Chain A
Amino acid sequence: MSIRWRQYPNKGLFDELVASGGRLRPAARQLGRRLSALPDTELAFRRETAANAIRTMGITFRVYSNKEGSIDREWPFDIIPRVIDIKEWRGIEAGLKQRAKALNHFIHDIYHDQEIVKDGIFPEDVLKKSANFRPQCVGVKPPKNIWAHICGSDLVRDHDGTMYVLEDNLRVPSGVSYMLENREVMKRVFPELLDDQRILPVDNYPSQLFSMLSSLSPRRVANPQIVVLTPGIYNSAYFEHAYLAQQMGAELVEGRDLFVDDDNVVYMRTIGGPSRVDVIYRRIDDLFLDPEVFNPDSMLGVPGIMRAWKSGKVAVANAPGAGVADDKVVYAFVPQMIEYYLNEKPLLPNVPTYLCMDREQRQYVLEHLNELVVKPANESGGYGMLIGPQASAKELKRFARLIKADGRNYIAQPMLTLSTAPTLFDNEVEPRHLDLRPFILSGNDISVTAGGLTRVALVKGSTVVNSSQGGGSKDTWIVDTEAR
Chain B
Amino acid sequence: MLSRVAESIYWIGRYTERAENTARLVNLNMNLLLDMPKHARPSWGNMVTMTGSEAAFKKRYKEDDERSVVRFLLIDAKNPSSMLNSLAMARENARTVRDIIPQSGWEHLNGLYRAAREGSKTGLNRKNRFAYLISVIRDIEALSGVLSSTMLHDSGYSFLRMGRMLERADMTSRIIDELSAGTVDSDPLGEAENSLRWMGLLKTLNAYHMYRREMEVAVERDPVLDFLLCCPTYPRSVMHCLNELAAELRKLPRFKAALGTCSDAHTLLNETDHTDLNQQGLHQHMDAIQLALVAINNEISRTYFQLSDD
Contacts and interface: CB of A to CB of B under 8 A. Distances in A.
Contacts of B2: 251, 253, 257, 268-271
Contact of B3 (A57, A246, A270): A270
A271 B307 contact: no
Nearest to B111: A56
Contacts of A270: 1-3
Nearest to B109: A58
B4 interface: yes
B110 interface: yes
A3 B252 CA distance: 60
Given A269-B307, A271-B252, A246 B99 contact: yes
B253 A272 contact: yes
A245 B107 contact: no
Given A58-B110, A259-B309, A242 B3 contact: no
Q: Which of A57, A233, A268, A271 has the most CB of B within 10 A?
A: A271
Interface string A335-353: 0000000000000000000
Interface string A253-267: 110110100000000
B106 interface: yes
A272 B99 contact: no
B99 A245 contact: yes
Interface string B271-310: 0000000000000000000000000000000011001010
Contacts of A256: 4, 307
B95 A271 contact: no
A252 B99 contact: yes
Contacts of B100: 246
B110 A56 contact: yes
A271 B253 contact: yes
Contacts, number: 67
Contacts of A233: 92, 95-96
A356 to B, nearest CB: 43
B233 to A, nearest CB: 30
B155 A271 contact: yes
B114 interface: yes
A75 interface: no
Interface string B2-37: 111110000000000000000000000000000000
A273 B308 CA distance: 10
Contact of A271 (B6, B92, B107): B6
A459 to B, nearest CB: 28
Contacts of A268: 2
Nearest to A247: B99
A248 to B, nearest CB: 9
A269 B92 CA distance: 21
A55 B114 contact: yes
Interface residues of B, number: 27
Q: Which secondary structure dominates chain B's binding surface?
A: helix
A331 interface: no
B84 to A, nearest CB: 17
A439 interface: no
B3 A243 contact: no
A242 B304 contact: no
Interface string B215-249: 00000000000000000000000000000000000
A142 B252 CA distance: 37
Given A233-B95, A252-B99, A57 B107 contact: yes
B126 interface: no
Nearest to B108: A56
A337 B114 CA distance: 52
B58 interface: no
Nearest to A260: B309
Interface string B92-103: 100111111001
A233 B92 CA distance: 9
B254 interface: yes
Nearest to B308: A269
B24 to A, nearest CB: 26
A251 B92 CA distance: 18
A458 B252 CA distance: 51
A417 B253 CA distance: 61
A269 B253 CA distance: 13
A273 B155 CA distance: 14
Contact of A242 (B99, B155, B252, B253): B99
Interface in B81-124: 92, 95-100, 103, 106-107, 110-111, 114
Contacts of B253: 271-273
Contacts of B304: 271
A257 B3 contact: yes
Nearest to A244: B99
Given A254-B4, A272-B254, A58 B99 contact: no
A251 B98 CA distance: 11
A273 B99 CA distance: 21
Nearest to A230: B96
B163 to A, nearest CB: 14
Contacts of B254: 271-273
Closest 7 CB pairs of A and B: A246-B99, A242-B98, A245-B99, A272-B253, A271-B304, A252-B99, A58-B110
Interface of B: 1-6, 92, 95-100, 103, 106-107, 110-111, 114, 155, 252-254, 303-304, 307, 309
7 contacts: A58-B107, A242-B99, A246-B103, A252-B5, A252-B98, A272-B253, A273-B253
Given A250-B99, A252-B97, 9 more contacts: A55-B114, A57-B103, A242-B96, A243-B99, A251-B2, A257-B2, A269-B4, A269-B307, A270-B2
